[in-house]
Amino acid sequence: MTVEAKGRAGGSVVARVPKATFRAHIADALRAAILNGNIEPGAQVIETALAEQFGVSRGPLREAMRQLIDEGLLVAVPYTGTHVVDLSVDDVREIYSMRVTLEIFAFEQIWARRDQAFRRELVARHDALTACIDAQDDAASIIAELQLHGFVYEATGHKLLIRTWESIRGRLQLYWAAHHRAHGIRGPRREGHDRYVEMALADDIEALKAEIADHMARGGRQTEDFLRGRPASAGTA
């Protein structure tokens, strides 16, 4: 049993996880570390160091890193190094413009299904987000907002759309989290989401399109200011 977990004094938050595959667990842990800011945007990620830290060999670790590269969270240069992605202003602008298109498409799909349970669930997610905002818990608010929007995509049942959202979500979360840490206060606001959900429940597709576009424009503007003038240092994938 060479898979015996090594001593690992300290922490030991995770006892053992050999059940599924190391690749999956490491990918989750590494993704969390990046999104939590434990590894800063632009920082280099060294295979040997991480492998030792996780207590595994470089094989599974490399495959986990490949996955994060495909998710757009890491950028690798052969024989040279791998860095956490550092989003540029254009990258953020692209993410927001893409979200407008995808989210409107999502609502078209949802409405075509006439799924009534969707309304209840949407309200529930919105309530959860509102609670986090009122509690001024910015970190939880970011998660709640991602889950609110994520639910919209999930509700479509459109696997390809969900897959596409997931390929964007990580970068969006990375940006929000970095922005929050750098600016201190921020976190999602109430007003925008109140209108967003109101329109979503109103079946007025044109109004919702306008609201989504405005919702994104506000978020995009708010965030671009922070990034402007700070050139990306580690490629923008």
- Please, which residue, 83 or 169, has the CB nearer to DNA? 83
- Please, which residue, 3 or 13, has the CB nearer to its own copies? 3
Give residues in contact with DNA (CB under 7 A). 1-3, 18-19, 21-23, 44-48, 55-60, 62-63, 76-82
Closest CA to 56 of 82, 17, 9, 28: 17
Query: Residue 13's binding partner, choosing from its own copies, DNA, none, with beta-carbon cut-off 5 to 8 A by kind?
Result: none
Distance in Å, CB of 203 to its own copies, minimum: 20
Query: Residue 233's binding partner, choosing from DNA, its own copies, none, with beta-carbon cut-off 5 to 8 A by kind?
Result: its own copies
Closest CA to 192 of 176, 167, 210, 165: 210
End-to-end CA distance of the chain: 39
77 phi and psi, to 5 degrees?
Answer: -120, 125
- Please, which residue, 104 or 139, has the CB nearer to its own copies? 104
CA separation for the pair 195, 197 (Å, rounded): 6
Query: Residue 208's binding partner, choosing from its own copies, DNA, none, with beta-carbon cut-off 5 to 8 A by kind?
Result: none
- Please, which residue, 141 or 156, has the CB nearer to its own copies? 156
User: Do 234 and 41 form a contact (C-beta atoms < 8 A)?
Assistant: yes
